[in-house]
Amino acid sequence: MATFLRDTAVIEALPQGDTVILAERYGNSAWSSTARITVQKEDGSLHDYFAKIITGELAEARVLGEYNCMLELWKTMPSIVSQPRAHGKCHGLDAACYFVCDYLEIDHRPPDAAKLGAKIAELHRVSESPTGQFGFHVTPYDGKLALAAEWDPSWVSFYGKLLKGVYQHDIRVNGYWKELDDAMELILTRVVPRLLGPLEEDGRTVKPCLIHGDLREENIGTELRTGELYIFDSCAYYAHHEMAIGMWRVDHHHMKAKEYRNQYFQNYEPDEPAEECDDRNRLYAIRELIMYSAHVPGSKAREQALEDMMHLIEQYVEEDTPML
């Protein structure tokens, strides 16, 4: 049995009557150790689980976040998520926690755009925020970084705090850059209210939809046996539905082809004012670029984020507004 799975907490977390017959390392993860566990059930049938062990001072918070995010997705639309089974502290490993869900044999080739667009749009349509607000009941973690996702009734306010929190992560990793800092100040104080405010004006409202939070190609797969799409490694929260596909624009992900965004919007139309949808998508992509910069110091994502910021500032900030 894989060394990191000898911890009894993982075995004890499995359903009563399951007998472990095989445990082996499986897959690759930048932030954790992962494995496949095969058990024999009381009726003699075999069943597989996927297990993840996270270590470090934030292990408990990260595992709590992932379990609750995946559970919320599974309760909302179980056909697109592997069932979460358990989470908790390891017994024999210092500062380590585990997460267990059902195992799926996944093909990681690029997902079919039409099928993905329909599935994600369905998830957004059927989801209902338990508070009627934007946010989540525990802190989601994008990789090793926490997201500011406290409940907020206003999408303008929520997105501003989310973006600011991500930028603070980036500053801690990459340091201050005055040009970027000045641009971010204008984005937060001028562009976000101007571009997102109309979504909540003139009798319009924004529905808080459950989004995956990190819907990139590595977190989407096709189950080999059924051909169905599944999503995993979530940092979910309730947000504007267009927020979910902001990362389908950025260069460091493979799903930047417009086909993916177009297929999604065929199933879930942009909110009004529809003519500003692409600029909203660019604004949401800035969050993805800044988060990537915080995860990958020295990448081009910072410069790309600044380019997008300056494009929006030119569009939505009056010329006589000074850079701070």
- Walk me through the domains of the chain, giving residue ranges and CATH numbers: 10-103 (3.30.200.20), 107-316 (3.90.1200.10)
Q: Which of 15-24, 94-103, 298-307 has the highest mean pLDDT?
A: 298-307
Residue 106 has pLDDT above 80, yes or no: yes
* Cβ-proximal residues to 209 (8 Å cutoff; 6+ apart), any chain: 123, 124, 125, 127, 129, 238, 239, 240, 241, 244
Q: Mean pLDDT over residues 135-161, rounded? A: 97
Question: 243-257, pLDDT tens digit by residue?
Answer: 999 999 998 888 888
pLDDT at 93: 75
Question: 284-295, pLDDT tens digit by residue?
Answer: 999 999 999 999
Location of structure tokens 């989407």: 220
The CA distance from 4 to 318, in Å, is: 57
pLDDT at 252: 86
pLDDT at 97: 93
With contact defined as beta carbons under 8 Å apart, do 51 and 5 qualify? yes
With contact defined as beta carbons under 8 Å apart, do 159 and 192 qualify? yes
Return the DSSP state at 14: S
- Single out the residue of 87, 92, 187 nearest to residue 138, CA to CA: 87
5-9, 95-99, 278-282, 302-306: which has the minimum mean pLDDT?
Answer: 5-9
Question: 44-82, pLDDT tens digit by residue?
Answer: 999 999 999 998 889 999 999 999 999 999 999 999 999
pLDDT at 321: 56
Q: Mean pLDDT over residues 270-293, rounded? A: 97
pLDDT at 31: 59
The CA distance from 209 to 124, in Å, is: 5
User: Rounded to whole angstroms, what are the CA distances from 289 to 118, 125, 252, 303, 323?
Assistant: 25, 27, 9, 9, 22
The CA distance from 207 to 163, in Å, is: 19
Check residues 318 and 316 and name the one with the higher pLDDT. Answer: 316
pLDDT at 79: 96
pLDDT at 279: 98
Residue 167 has pLDDT above 70, yes or no: yes
56-60, 66-70, 83-87, 232-236: which has the minimum mean pLDDT?
Answer: 56-60
Residue 4 has pLDDT above 80, yes or no: no
With contact defined as beta carbons under 8 Å apart, do 312 and 283 qualify? yes
Percent of all residues in the chain with a pLDDT value above 90, rounded to a whole number: 78
Q: How many CA atoms lie within 13 A of 284 on its CB side?
A: 23
The CA distance from 260 to 1, in Å, is: 41
When pLDDT is cut at 50, 70 and 90, the band that residue 272 belongs to is: very high
Number of H helices, E strands in the chain: 9, 12
36-45, 179-188, 190-199, 281-290: which has the minimum mean pLDDT?
Answer: 36-45
Residue 108 has pLDDT above 90, yes or no: no
Percent of all residues in the chain with a pLDDT value above 70, rounded to a whole number: 94
pLDDT at 6: 58
When pLDDT is cut at 50, 70 and 90, the band that residue 29 belongs to is: low
Return the DSSP state at 135: B
When pLDDT is cut at 50, 70 and 90, the band that residue 324 belongs to is: very low
Q: What is the DSSP string of 204-256?
A: -----EEE-S---GGGEEEETTT--EEE-S---EEE-GGGGGGGGSSTTSTT-
Q: Mean pLDDT over residues 157-171, rounded? A: 98
pLDDT at 166: 98
The pLDDT mean for the chain works out to 92
pLDDT at 57: 87
Q: How many of the other CB atoms lie within 10 Å of CB of 205? A: 10
* Cβ-proximal residues to 202 (8 Å cutoff; 6+ apart), any chain: none
- Total-model pTM: 0.94
